[in-house]
C-alpha cells in the first residue's frame, strides 16, 4: 500500500519525532503516527471510544465506538467463542481512540491511513496480549454489528454495498446499553479487566 507524502509538522518539544502529538485524557503526549508502546493506556482508549460517535453522528442517537465494541463482545459470547476471540472483539477498534473513527467510504481513499492504523493496532495488541492480525471471525462479528446498527439506528436506510452479513437478533441497539458516556466507559473497562483475568493476563491498575 502507498504512503502519502505529507508535509508534517515538527512537535513543539523538538524531539526526535517528525509528526505532531495529541494530549490524551490521562495527560499523555501521544504521537498517533509515531506511537510509543508505553504511552498506550486503556483508560485513554475507553474514554475516547465512549465519546466518539459512529457514522459521523448520522444515526438516530449518540452511539459510540465503545458501545459498538461491547456489542461485538456480546455476539462473541453468544457464539461461544474463546476468551481470546472475545477479547479481540472488544478491542478491535482500540486504535480509533488515537486515530479517530473514519467512515469506510472515506477511509479506503486516505492513502497511508491503513499503514498507520495497522501499525498502531499491532502495537496495542503487543501491549495488551491480543492475537494480531485479528481473526476472520472477529471481522465477521464487526460486520454483523454493522448490519445490526444499520437496521436499528437508521430510518429507511439505503442499501449498504459493503455489508456482507445479516444483523443479529440477540439484541437491538436502538436503545443504549447504559446511559451516559461515563457508564459506557466503565462498562468497557470492566469487560477489559474481566477478560484479562479470564485469560490470566496481568492487570496493571496504574492504567486505570
CATH fold for domain 38-201: Hypothetical protein af1432 (1.10.3210)
Residue 70 and residue 177 in contact, taking contact as beta carbons nearer than 8 Å:
yes
CB neighbour list of residue 33: distance below 8 Å, 6 or more residues apart: 8, 19, 116
Report the DSSP beta bridge partners of residue 30: 22
List pLDDT tens digits, range 85-141: 999 999 999 999 999 999 988 998 998 999 999 999 999 999 999 999 999 999 999
List pLDDT tens digits, range 165-205: 999 999 999 999 999 999 999 999 999 999 999 999 988 76
pTM tops 0.85? yes
Domain boundaries, the chain: 38-201
Amino acid at each position: 500500500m502507498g504512503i502519502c507524502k505529507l508535509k508534517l509538522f515538527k512537535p513543539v518539544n523538538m524531539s526526535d519525532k517528525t509528526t505532531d502529538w495529541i494530549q490524551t485524557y490521562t495527560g499523555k503526549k501521544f504521537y498517533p503516527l509515531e506511537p510509543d508502546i508505553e504511552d498506550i493506556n486503556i483508560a485513554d482508549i475507553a474514554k475516547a471510544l465512549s465519546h466518539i460517535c459512529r457514522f459521523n453522528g448520522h444515526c438516530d442517537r449518540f452511539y459510540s465506538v465503545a458501545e459498538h465494541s461491547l456489542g461485538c463482545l456480546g455476539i462473541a459470547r453468544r457464539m461461544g467463542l474463546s476468551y481470546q476471540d472475545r477479547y479481540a472483539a472488544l478491542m478491535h477498534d482500540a486504535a480509533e481512540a488515537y486515530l479517530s473513527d473514519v467512515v469506510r467510504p472515506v477511509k479506503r481513499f486516505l492513502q497511508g491511513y491503513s499503514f498507520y492504523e495497522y501499525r498502531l493496532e499491532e502495537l496495542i495488541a503487543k501491549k495488551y496480549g491480543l492475537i494480531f492480525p485479528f481473526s476472520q471471525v472477529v471481522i465477521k462479528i464487526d460486520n454483523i454489528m454493522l448490519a445490526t446498527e444499520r437496521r436499528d439506528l437508521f430510518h429507511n436506510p439505503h442499501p449498504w454495498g459493503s455489508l456482507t452479513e445479516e444483523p443479529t437478533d440477540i439484541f437491538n441497539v436502538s436503545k443504549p446499553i447504559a446511559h451516559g458516556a461515563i457508564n459506557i466507559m466503565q462498562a468497557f473497562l470492566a469487560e477489559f479487566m474481566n477478560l484479562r483475568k479470564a485469560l490470566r493476563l496481568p492487570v496493571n491498575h496504574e492504567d486505570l
